[in-house]
């Protein structure tokens, strides 16, 4: 299928992009890698009259360490997340998750910023960003602000981004050395969105879980941060009964749709299975 007609703009700076979006108003859409937006345009579910392509803005790309945080520019591709030495040293779960997104061709073009700004509950990065306690830097006509990933997602395709605002970068606190991590994703085939997925980052003190954070993908209208489930694991040895209780608490906050990936009850149970596997693998990777 062929998208409707549109005008194409390629600003060179964030300021120019913000100015263009303010001038063009509601008829304009931001274009990043295009791997969520263009399919919608081809089926005419989206028909923007203007596309503002961010790919000419060099400052939106790159991965840097700033104190105890890592900053990832919005236009950094999913492929670049996988090949980054900085990320593999400090936050390896980002590469692990990125490898499970779509297929290599999509990851060469699809961007990190597009994945988190899109608001599709099927995207894998949002739940991970909630798990990691990330915050999103955005710029718009009223200036710049930061939004916590845990507050950002309001509903399917509905986020706290205001019209005309651009997500410019994501700030992620580096988890402690020796942390354990795992992203477990059930999908029907390579390249598919998750039937259910779970992100876990934890630290152990001897045999005791000292801290843990849990994110869930594609089992509600928004990505989920499962804080009650995590609380049930802290201070335990991650023994079976503690994990059973955490799994039950995580399943209780899911509200998936019944769709071609399975009935809602199945997807809820698969969220529990993914969480159980992620806790087990994260524990096996943690160094006390």
Q: In the window 28-47, what residues touch ligand FAD (CB under 6 A)?
A: 29-37, 39
Region of 88-96, 100-108, 169-177, 202-210 interacting with ligand FAD (CB under 6 A): 100-108
Per the CB < 8 A criterion, the answer to whether 250 and 214 are in contact is yes
Compare residues 179 and 185 and give the one whose CB is closer to ligand FAD: 185
Question: Minimal distance in Å, beta carbon 88 to ligand FAD?
Answer: 19
Question: Minimal distance in Å, beta carbon 41 to ligand FAD?
Answer: 9
Q: In the window 107-146, what residues touch ligand FAD (CB under 6 A)?
A: 110-111, 113-115, 117-118, 123-124
Phi/psi for 149 (5° steps) reads -55, -35
98 binds ligand FAD (CB under 6 A): no
Question: Minimal distance in Å, beta carbon 74 to ligand FAD?
Answer: 4
Q: Compose the 172-191 pattern: x for residues touching ligand FAD by CB under 6 A, - for all others.
A: -------------------x
β-pairing, 143-148 with 180-186? Answer: unpaired
Gap between the Cα atoms of 164 and 249, Å rounded: 38
Gap between the Cα atoms of 148 and 134, Å rounded: 6
Neighbours of 230 (CB within 10 A): 23
Compare residues 36 and 84 and give the one whose CB is closer to ligand FAD: 36
CA atoms 101, 260, 114, 93: torsion sign: negative
Compare residues 33 and 262 and give the one whose CB is closer to ligand FAD: 33
Compare residues 176 and 191 and give the one whose CB is closer to ligand FAD: 191
Per the CB < 8 A criterion, the answer to whether 40 and 8 are in contact is no
Residues 6+ apart with CB under 8 A from 171: 66, 69, 70, 71, 134, 135, 136, 137, 146
Per the CB < 8 A criterion, the answer to whether 230 and 201 are in contact is no
Question: Minimal distance in Å, beta carbon 48 to ligand FAD?
Answer: 8
Q: In the window 217-276, what residues touch ligand FAD (CB under 6 A)?
A: none
Region of 10-18, 99-107, 223-231, 257-265 interacting with ligand FAD (CB under 6 A): 99-107
Compare residues 168 and 283 and give the one whose CB is closer to ligand FAD: 168
Q: Which of 72, 87, 102, 282 binds ligand FAD (CB under 6 A)?
A: 102
Q: Which of 146, 97, 150, 102 is nearest to 125 (CA)?
A: 97
Compare residues 54 and 286 and give the one whose CB is closer to ligand FAD: 54
Residues 6+ apart with CB under 8 A from 234: 209, 210, 211, 212
Q: Which helix or strand (DSSP H or E) is residue 266 part of?
A: helix 264-285
Residues in touch with ligand FAD (CB under 6 A): 29-37, 39, 54, 74, 101-102, 106, 110-111, 113-115, 117-118, 123-124, 161, 166-167, 191, 193
């Amino acid at each position: 299928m062929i998208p409707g007609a549109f005008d194409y703009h390629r600003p060179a700076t964030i300021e120019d992009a913000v100015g263009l979006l303010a001038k063009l108003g509601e008829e304009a859409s931001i274009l990043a890698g295009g791997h969520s937006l263009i399919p919608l345009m081809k089926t005419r579910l989206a028909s923007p009259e203007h596309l503002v392509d961010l790919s000419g803005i060099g400052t939106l790309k790159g991965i840097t360490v700033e104190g105890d945080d890592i900053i990832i520019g919005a236009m950094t591709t999913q492929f670049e997340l996988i090949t980054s030495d900085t990320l593999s040293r400090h936050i390896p779960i980002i590469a692990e998750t990125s490898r499970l997104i779509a297929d290599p061709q999509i990851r060469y073009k699809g961007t990190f910023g597009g994945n988190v700004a899109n608001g599709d509950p099927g995207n894998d990065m949002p739940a991970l960003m909630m798990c990691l306690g990330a915050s999103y830097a955005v710029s718009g006509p009223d200036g710049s602000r930061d939004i916590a990933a845990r507050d950002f997602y309001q509903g399917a395709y509905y986020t706290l981004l205001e019209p005309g605002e651009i997500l410019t970068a994501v700030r992620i606190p580096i988890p402690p050395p020796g942390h354990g991590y795992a992203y477990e994703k059930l999908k029907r085939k390579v390249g598919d969105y998750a039937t259910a997925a779970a992100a876990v980052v934890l630290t152990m003190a001897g045999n005791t879980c000292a801290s843990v954070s849990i994110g869930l993908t594609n089992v509600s209208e928004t990505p989920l941060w499962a804080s009650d489930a995590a609380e049930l694991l802290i201070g335990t040895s991650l023994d079976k009964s503690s994990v059973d209780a955490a799994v039950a608490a995580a399943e209780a906050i899911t509200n998936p749709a019944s769709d071609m990936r399975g009935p809602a009850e199945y997807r809820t149970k698969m969220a529990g299975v993914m969480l159980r596997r992620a806790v087990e693998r994260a524990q096996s990777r943690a160094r006390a």
